[in-house]
């Protein structure tokens, strides 16, 4: 069994946690990153290759030199709101970049891929309580469109190229490594929990709630928050599943908890755990934001044998707060 894994985007937030989890599970992880948003001190693989997602030749060479058996693809632009304002970079990187990666995999004879997809492919579904993988893809912003396009591309590569892939549709990644080795450091930061933590630390003057009139219990958006360490273990489980299979195919699998928390609940959790008060401003809705995104996680349980183990809101906020305080020192 070839346990050499190329982690494309392995210096980023989820990529760095996954690289740690792979190494701890006995895999050899090779990090490939262009450091457009990743961090050199978050590279935990056995080897590091600096390169761009669009560089098919370098990707091919890297896979051949390191005898890669599987690829995990994290390298994407991810900010849904920004994708509405400037959509083209999302299609250049997320779609065209993935085509370059698939070309390299074909050239290097690598057929197993774990793709970082997103719950944004579901769009704004008000007809179901939990989002399951058999729902039609119906994204409402260019970011979601780009990920849905890649899922379609992967499906078309099954019979043509013998691709074996899992598209992990994860929900709201958050938290940090419990040992403080890596955490969330986006620049600029756009994710809710680190933004609220910045307000608690006093490095942000206030936190803004975008929309208080959604059809949710407290009027604010509800999301399925999943600890990044749980996401990492889900990727390790996906690689292990692919290595145990010989039949080409693509399967979408949600990674979430099956429960949702509102923006107001997140704000209150940060206030409680940090012991700090801060200004909260209510504002209008943000373009492209669905009211509720909560995962049906039955397939992850059944196929991968995976369950979230660290994703209660207090654990998430406690780990994120500890990493933010450590980084501020």
Active-site residue numbers?
A: 143
CA distance 8 to 31: 6
For 72, the 3-state DSSP assignment is strand
Count of CB atoms within 10 A of residue 302's CB? Answer: 10
Task: Give the single-character DSSP code of 295.
Answer: B
CA distance 133 to 122: 9
- What burial class does residue 122 get, using C-beta atoms within 10 Å of its C-beta: 0-12 exposed, 13-18 middle, 19+ buried? buried
For 232, the 3-state DSSP assignment is helix
- Phi first, then psi: give them for residue 53, nearest 5 degrees: -60, -30
Residue entry with tokens 């693809």: 73
Q: Which residues contact 193 (CB under 8 A, 6 or more apart)?
A: 174, 175, 184, 225, 266, 270, 316, 317, 320
CA distance 209 to 229: 26
> In the numeric block, which tokens belong to residue 26?
């006995």
CA distance 245 to 239: 10
For the chain, count helices (H), then strands (E): 11, 14
> In the numeric block, which tokens belong to residue 149?
């396009």
CA distance 145 to 160: 23
CA distance 34 to 55: 10
């Amino acid at each position: 069994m070839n346990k050499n894994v190329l982690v494309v985007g392995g210096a980023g937030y989820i990529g760095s946690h996954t690289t740690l989890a792979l190494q701890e599970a006995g895999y050899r992880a090779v990090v490939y990153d262009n450091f457009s948003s990743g961090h050199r001190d978050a590279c935990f693989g056995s080897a590091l290759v600096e390169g761009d997602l669009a560089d098919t030749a370098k990707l091919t060479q890297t896979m051949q030199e390191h005898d890669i058996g599987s690829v995990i693809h994290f390298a994407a632009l991810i900010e849904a709101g920004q994708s509405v304002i400037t959509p083209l970079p999302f299609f250049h990187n997320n779609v065209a970049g993935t085509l370059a990666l698939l070309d390299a995999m074909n050239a290097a004879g690598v057929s197993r891929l774990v793709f970082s997809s997103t719950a944004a492919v579901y769009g704004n579904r008000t007809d179901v309580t939990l989002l399951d993988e058999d729902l039609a893809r119906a994204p409402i912003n260019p970011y979601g469109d780009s990920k849905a396009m890649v899922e379609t591309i992967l499906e078309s590569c099954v019979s043509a190229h013998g691709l074996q892939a899992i598209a992990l549709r994860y929900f709201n990644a958050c938290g940090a490594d419990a040992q403080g080795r890596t955490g969330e450091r986006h620049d600029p930061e756009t994710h809710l929990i680190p933004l609220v933590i910045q307000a608690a630390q006093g490095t942000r003057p206030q936190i803004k709630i975008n929309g208080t009139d959604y059809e949710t219990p407290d009027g604010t958006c509800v999301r399925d928050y999943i600890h990044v360490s749980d996401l990492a273990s889900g990727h390790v489980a996906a690689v292990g599943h692919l290595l145990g299979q010989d039949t080409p195919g693509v399967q979408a699998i949600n990674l979430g908890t099956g429960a949702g928390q509102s923006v107001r609940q997140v704000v209150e959790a940060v206030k409680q755990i940090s012991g700090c008060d801060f200004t909260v401003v209510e504002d209008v809705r943000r373009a492209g934001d669905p009211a509720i995104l909560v995962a049906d996680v039955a397939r992850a349980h059944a196929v991968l044998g995976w369950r979230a183990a660290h994703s209660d809101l207090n654990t998430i906020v406690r780990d994120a707060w500890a990493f933010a305080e450590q980084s501020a020192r």
